[in-house]
Amino acid sequence: MVVYHADRAAHLREDLVATLVQAGVLAEGPWAEAFRQVPRHVFVPRLFVPAPRGGWVAVGADHPDFLSLVYRDDVCVTQLNGSEAAWEQAAADGVVHGVPTSSSSMPTIMAVMLAALDARPGDTVLEIGTGTGYNAALLAHVLGDGAVTSVDVDPDVHARAVRALAEVGRHPRCVVGDGERGVPEHAPYRRVLGTCAVSRLPPAWPAQAEPGGVVVTTLNRPLGAGLLRLVVRDGAATGRVLREDGRFMPLRAHRQAWADEALHRARRAPAAITRPTPLPARTALDPLSGFEFFAGLALPGVAVGLDPVRLVHPDGSWVRHRGAVVDEGGPRRLWALAEDAHRRWRSLGRPRRHRFAFTATAARQWFALDGSELTWDL
């Protein structure tokens, strides 16, 4: 059993809160106090960190840098490939390969989402994606155990979260189930928080919110992902894309299962056309670019690969970006669409993500640009 130095952990939590407050994503008050008091290392007893040459290295609680890694303002990857086998493999081989399937989210994004959720004592909250249980502990610290319901699809992830919550004296309602369906037996909720990304807003989430209730979630979009804050009224959820960028692992049913094979083919596929391009890959793909969100509206459904940069679509269209040159194949010219979108974005005054509203009804989900009649169906 590893014994932690309580003073060091508390000091690192204080540093983390100071970082979040200084960044302007956390205000002094109940949520700041929750970050100070809830020990993240209990919920992240081990984690994977990127290996220098690719893959992942497992870091356990006996590692000298363990607490420093846990209390960074960074995501902590806790599971690969939807199973626990990677831990045993890491112990044997050192470096393992896989796709992250569970994590403790970046504290900055957690703070931004909690602020957008604006939950107050007396509110009930449904959290989609228990994960490590750390966010559920923050919610329960401020709102009380009885106000929080959390659901996760993975029984092993759920069991570890429940144990960690109990270790810190928290007992919110945690259930195993498909988060896309919510938890109807305990609805309605005043707040719904999706801590996993969705390609479309699941109808069950606004349906299980009270009238006037709030839904906060992130979008599962390789281009143009973002945070949404929606208010539920009269059968519709309406709101905005937030200024802050947020990226989460997708709800498992919303993963692009087709993409790995398509991206692999696009790495060396013979091109139907090779041509110069004036549009750098970074302009379209970098979340810090003002154009990236708009690029996602123009190229819905694409998946993205790197080294080299590739975009692929389920219809078989693909592009391989090589500096000032692109190779394209399939029924559509994806990079030509990106170039057209960039010209249109500039003509519209270069609108950034927070200029877009979002609406979801039973029949349709769409984005709209402020001050225009332009809409894009999701």
Q: Indicate the domain borders of the chain.
A: 47-104, 256-347
Is pLDDT above 80 for 101?
A: no
pLDDT band at 80; cut points 50, 70, 90: confident
Q: Does residue 38 contact residue 141 with C-beta atoms inside 8 Å?
A: yes
Mean pLDDT of the chain: 91
| Cα–Cα distance for residue pair 272/266, rounded to 1 Å | 12
Q: Is residue 2 pLDDT above 50, yes or no? A: no
To the query of whether residue 103 is one of the catalytic residues in this protein, the response is no
Which pLDDT score is estimated for 244? 82
- Whether the predicted pLDDT of 254 surpasses 70: no
Residue 91 has pLDDT above 90, yes or no: no
Q: Name which residue leads in pLDDT, 54 or 70.
A: 70
- The answer to whether residue 251 scores a pLDDT higher than 70 is no
**Does the pLDDT at position 41 exceed 90?**
yes
Q: How far is CA 258 from each of CA 101, 202, 312, 313, 316, rounded to the nearest angstrom?
A: 17, 21, 10, 9, 11
Question: By CB neighbour count within 10 A (0-12 exposed, 13-18 middle, 19+ buried), where does 50 fall?
Answer: exposed
Positive or negative CA dihedral for 286, 291, 296, 299? Answer: negative
pLDDT score recorded for residue 258: 77
Of how many residues is the chain composed? 378
Instruction: Mention every residue, 6+ apart, whose C-beta is less than 8 A from residue 52.
Output: none
pTM metric for this prediction: 0.89
How far is it between the farthest Cα atoms of the chain?
Answer: 62
pLDDT of residue 141: 98
Three-state DSSP class for 112? helix
User: Which candidate, 170, 168, 172, places its Cα nearest to that of 151?
Assistant: 172
Lowest average pLDDT, out of 72-86, 102-116, 141-155, 208-222, goes to 72-86
**Do 178 and 253 meet the contact criterion of CB atoms below 8 Å apart?**
yes
pLDDT value, residue 311: 94
Among candidate residues 103, 105, 199, 317, the one labeled active-site is 105
Q: Tell me, rounded to whole angstroms, the distance of Cα 91 from its chain centroid.
A: 28
Task: Report the pLDDT averaged over residues 228-235.
Answer: 95
Average pLDDT (192-211) is 94
